[in-house]
Amino acid sequence: MARQRLPDLCVIGGGAGGVAVAEAARRHGASVILVDREGSGAGNQLAGLAGNALFRAAGLAHDMRRAQSFGLAAAEPKPAARAVFEHIRDVVTEVEPRAGAERLEGLGVEVVRGEARFVDRRSIEVDGAQIAARRFVLATGSRPFIPEIAGLDQCRYFTTTTIFDNPYKLTHLVVIGAGRHGLELAQAYRRLGADVSVIDAAKALGRSDPELSAMVLRQVVADGVKLYEQTTVRRVQARSQGIGIELSGPDGRQVTLDASHLLVATGRRPDIETLGLDQAGVKRDPTRPERLRVGDDLKTTNRRIYAIGDVSGGLRYGHAAEHQAQLVVRNALFGLPARYRAALIPRLCRTAPQLAEVGLGEPQVRQRRRQDFTVTRFSLAENDRARGDEEGHGVAKMITDRHGRIVGAGVVGAEAGEVIALFSMAIANGLSARHLAGFVAAYPSYAGIAQHLGALHEQQQSASGGLTWLSRLVRNLP
């Protein structure tokens, strides 16, 4: 057995979260070993980047078709599957080195390629070599969850990551799972010319505020995606040409779809099975054993081992993993308190229109004591930038507590992912609607939506009594 090493931190997994921990810890002078089974330091984040390139191509195709609304001749984009695939590959290849092992090594991180497995509470084994460390950070991400569907194991199907490796034309893409990933991809491939059907056993975009998700679903269906909700996939069958997919609808009606390709987008699960966690004393969540038991301080049941990013079982976003990385480094290196607040993490669905949410939504508020909260709404048709861009179909909602403090927001519309950042910052800093009303956004801009919501809230509060006595007093002054 090779000699043991004892760094300050050993990070397992070199994706979004692991790389962020390693970088931050090195900046503070800590010794860091990062172990990754691919050795690349890329993880699933490149899938996000590939998605972005695909959605941009799909957005352009859509704009070409609707160019007439802007006084230009509309044109059918004639997408070429291979050219779109090459575009996506080029974007990823350009960014990849920034996440790569060489850059980390340049920063002084020791990168070890291999599969990590705990041998006891303080050490792992990688390819026969043992590494003990003062602290470990689990950042192994997640893997696709593949449901048990009769015949699925006999079929070729894409997952939300492998679909980007496909250079061929998708004639009829059937997507199982209408969560965020399934719908984003369904709409994009539809706009790039494929026939697309999406099936969900429950409600499409069921994690989001239904009022907001309904606006997205309307557009996705208007684009020509066929949506089957509350529908079970009974069996899939590989045929000499394509795949047959047998469905059973909410009314018990049976339908068979003829697909050229199948995408399984039924969610993901933390990647923990091969880590030997029992040896390390890291326990699973008893109510959801596919997850770890992780506290707000991001520590597992072994206090020397943290879990961040997808493997921690919370919101699965690159920015969540990076935020958690900063908290862990503060705690592990300096003993500073770290408390992860999921309420600060923007949740973005990159359909068109985009759907972005942060903190509490209206459905959660309704479940709580509703009188303690105010929901302020603003139609994007009132925002001159959205109107000018022909993007007026949308709505923004802000949730405030009884002191006017912002506790949540949701936006459907163009650039929703940018607008939501203002609300995320407001929540992080305990700001209230008054602060939003008082900031100045450029005209015309989508950022103005946040300012308008703040101003609306203030007007509504003053109309309901708060400031009326003051205005009466001022009017009566000589």
Ligand X SMILES: NC(=O)c1ccc[n+]([C@@H]2O[C@H](COP(=O)([O-])OP(=O)(O)OC[C@H]3O[C@@H](n4cnc5c(N)ncnc54)[C@H](O)[C@@H]3O)[C@@H](O)[C@H]2O)c1
Ligand Y SMILES: Cc1cc2nc3c(=O)[nH]c(=O)nc-3n(C[C@H](O)[C@H](O)[C@H](O)COP(=O)(O)OP(=O)(O)OC[C@H]3O[C@@H](n4cnc5c(N)ncnc54)[C@H](O)[C@@H]3O)c2cc1C
Q: Which residues are annotated as a binding site for FAD?
A: 140-142, 310
Identify what 7 binds: ligand Y, ligand X, none; CB under 5 to 8 Å per kind.
none
CB of 110 to ligand X, least distance (A): 31
363 lies in the binding site for ligand X (CB under 6 A): no
Identify what 16 binds: ligand X, ligand Y, none; CB under 5 to 8 Å per kind.
ligand Y
Q: In what order do the strands lie in the sheet with 110-113?
A: 110-113, 32-36, 9-12, 135-138, 305-307
What is the three-class DSSP state of 324? helix
**Element at 19 (helix H, strand E):** helix 16-27
How many CB atoms neighbour CB 188 within 10 A?
A: 25
116 lies in the binding site for ligand Y (CB under 6 A): yes
16 lies in the binding site for ligand Y (CB under 6 A): yes
125 lies in the binding site for ligand X (CB under 6 A): no
Identify what 140 binds: ligand X, ligand Y, none; CB under 5 to 8 Å per kind.
ligand Y
DSSP annotation of 158: B
Q: Which of 161, 166, 248, 379 contacts ligand Y by CB under 6 A?
A: 161
Q: How many residues bind ligand X (CB under 6 A)?
A: 25
| Segment interacting with ligand X, rule: CB under 6 A, options 84-92, 163-171, 198-206, 444-452 | 198-206
| Segment interacting with ligand Y, rule: CB under 6 A, options 15-23, 246-254, 389-397, 455-463 | 15-23
| Segment interacting with ligand X, rule: CB under 6 A, options 90-98, 178-186, 241-249, 438-446 | 178-186
Q: Which of 2, 94, 153, 206 contacts ligand X by CB under 6 A?
A: 206
Per DSSP bridges, beta strands 347-349 and 354-359 are antiparallel
Per DSSP, the residues of 28-94 read: TT--EEEEESSSSS-TTHHHHHHHHHHHHHHHHHHHHHTGGGGTS--------HHHHHHHHHHHHHH
Q: Which CB atom, from 33 or from 263, has the smaller least distance to ligand X?
A: 263
Per DSSP, the residues of 84-150 read: HHHHHHHHHHHHHHHHSHHHHHHTTPEEEES-EEEEETTEEEETTEEEE-SEEEE---EEE-----B
**Residues 261-290 within binding reach of ligand X (CB under 6 A):** 265-268
Tokens of 475: 């009017």
Q: Give the 3-state DSSP-derived string for 172-236, with helices as H, strands as E and coil as C.
A: EEEEECCCHHHHHHHHHHHHCCCEEEEECCCCCCCCCCHHHHHHHHHHHHHCCCEEECCCEEEEE
54 lies in the binding site for ligand Y (CB under 6 A): no
Question: Alpha helices, DSSP H only, in 302-447?
Answer: 318-334, 362-367, 384-388, 416-428, 433-438
Residue from 458, 414, 418, 417 nearest 436 by CA: 458
**Residues 225-284 within binding reach of ligand Y (CB under 6 A):** 271, 274-275
Identify what 454 binds: ligand X, ligand Y, none; CB under 5 to 8 Å per kind.
none
**Residues 364-423 within binding reach of ligand Y (CB under 6 A):** none
Identify what 201 binds: ligand Y, ligand X, none; CB under 5 to 8 Å per kind.
ligand X
**Residues 296-315 within binding reach of ligand X (CB under 6 A):** 315
Start-to-end C-alpha separation, the chain = 91
Q: Which residues are annotated as a binding site?
A: 140-142, 177-184, 267, 310
**Residues 302-331 within binding reach of ligand Y (CB under 6 A):** 309-311, 316-319, 321
| Segment interacting with ligand X, rule: CB under 6 A, options 26-34, 177-185, 437-445, 451-459 | 177-185
DSSP annotation of 345: S
233 lies in the binding site for ligand X (CB under 6 A): yes
Which residues of this protein are in contact with ligand X, per CB under 6 A? 147, 176-182, 199-202, 206-208, 233, 265-268, 315-316, 347, 349, 357
Which residues of this protein are in contact with ligand Y, per CB under 6 A? 12-18, 35-38, 43-45, 47-48, 51, 115-116, 139-141, 160-161, 181, 271, 274-275, 309-311, 316-319, 321
